[in-house]
Amino acid sequence: MKLTTKGRYAVTAMLDLSLHSQSGPVSLADISVRQDISLSYLEQLFSKLRKRGLVVSMRGPGGGYSLSRDPKEIAMSSIILAVDESVDVTNCSGKSDCQDSKRCLTHDLWADLSGRIQSFLDDITLDDMMNRKEVLAVADRQNKKAVVEATLHNLNG
């Protein structure tokens, strides 16, 4: 499968953004702390997400990123595709030239699996994920950890 860290991090960061954007734009620095993803990597991902119209950025104090539309309208597949990821599990990138420039014996199996993965990711939105109690429990834990880390950082100044 060709889903790499880039796709996983993009989905994670977008879910974090969705969970924290009710009070305004979310800084990439905050996402970086909560999700333990480097700030420079997030900047690269969000540049692609912005170009694909999934997020909007606001500059200045209190700036950051917001979703460009309702979380119900953003499918996991669109996030993965925005950062140039693929969910194709064939060895030939779906071109049917897997073995000596011809279709291999198991091409249809892997092509069908790719289609099912794509369909699965098409059917799950940010809103769906935001409403899962397991996701909310993890977000709560991460928020508490971030507050503790910020407090310790301020004390140690």
User: For the chain, what are the domain ranges?
Assistant: 5-86+125-132
Domain 5-86+125-132 annotated CATH 1.10.10.10: yes
Cβ atoms of residues 139 and 129 within 8 Å: no
pLDDT in tens, 14-62: 999 999 998 899 999 999 999 999 999 999 999 999 999 999 999 988 8
Provide the 10 A C-beta neighbour count for residue 101. Answer: 9
Radius of gyration of the chain (CA): 18
**pTM listed for this prediction:** 0.88
- Cβ neighbours around 10 below 10 Å, total: 27
- Residue pair 123/75 in contact (Cβ under 8 Å)? The answer is yes
Q: Are 10 and 65 in contact (CB under 8 A)?
A: no
Q: What distance, in Å, lies between the first and last C-alpha atoms of the chain? A: 45
